[in-house]
Structure 1
């Protein structure tokens, strides 16, 4: 059995995938405000990622671009993040694809292409980045944390986004498998399962005709902020959250209750 590894509370080296805007930006900001150094990953939105980078408190943050859907691209991203930060202590798997594709309305060719795209980014990129980060943590004998951004849709179903719901369910299962296998190395792995939360990507829906119905999903009569989700991610990556390894934390304002 390996000796216990104690993760520092601040000054950690954190890679956040898909951090150009929305939840990824809020997560990067939360870690930076905590005194950690952050690698801000982006796929195609470099200008927005630079805005994220410029918004971060503290110094020593780095910008890392690349295509996570390609295994070689994921390896390059992890290497650049680790080189820029001097190692990796925390990985936040946030990057995801979520394109509507209801079965009855989606041609087969488009259906097949979108499933491949969702699996490549939402599941395989998460698995690949987790391997790449965890191997560095193991080799450094430093312990660490991996937090996956899952979804309420993994439990309640996503009729218009079935590949999204299915891949997020797989991400939850992946996180639980890794939690067991990586615990002997002092690496905790957990996931969050957010419900609807407010970002620029969904602002038009909240301000439009369906906004009231979306807010009514929760008995609080509102949706979450990205900052609320980011606060939970920050805690799951903290030294105090080791016993939460393997958990899937519901963050949906009681809009969906699992049994």
Structure 2
């Protein structure tokens, strides 16, 4: 074989090796950059289940614990369903009967009072999600793990909206006192509530809503909080 033929043969081998190296390098670069190698699609099983976990959305639930024998709030006796005054009092005593060792906010007590509400109001309470914090008053009560005692007085000189055979309005004054488990005592919920009640068939009278006016707080006293639930609409 002549020298020229040997030289030409070596040149051909170098070109062939260069082509192979370029192809290998290209595949390596694609894989190193995180790009999917399309050749892998041929081995993929389109019927195979996804490896990603599935999550079911859950509705938020009230965080408050139910009251038990260690709670300080006095149980509310079952009212006579034919007496709108008794039903309104029972609702107020439950909805404002906070125990901060159990309740994370006023809404927990409101949910304990669902039995006194009309079906429409009860649904509104269950669907309600407080959008703001509980306030400085609740923070003070919670610091002392306080519970409430309530003095509920009906307005003898009724000047509220007139009633009908199936609806009635009652005005009550609520004067609450907070009692800390550490011996501290301070003001609790203090308000005026105009309560609307309606007859809910055989179930008797039920609370259909209320207009609440917080009482004035003496200077230097701890601000008092009131329910902001759908059943208790602040007065305007």
Q: TM-score, length-normalised on structure 1?
A: 0.25
Between 1 and 2, higher relative CO (CA 8 Å, sep ≥ 6) is seen in 1
Larger Rg: 2
Q: Point out the structure with the larger strand share.
A: 2
Q: TM-score, length-normalised on structure 2?
A: 0.27
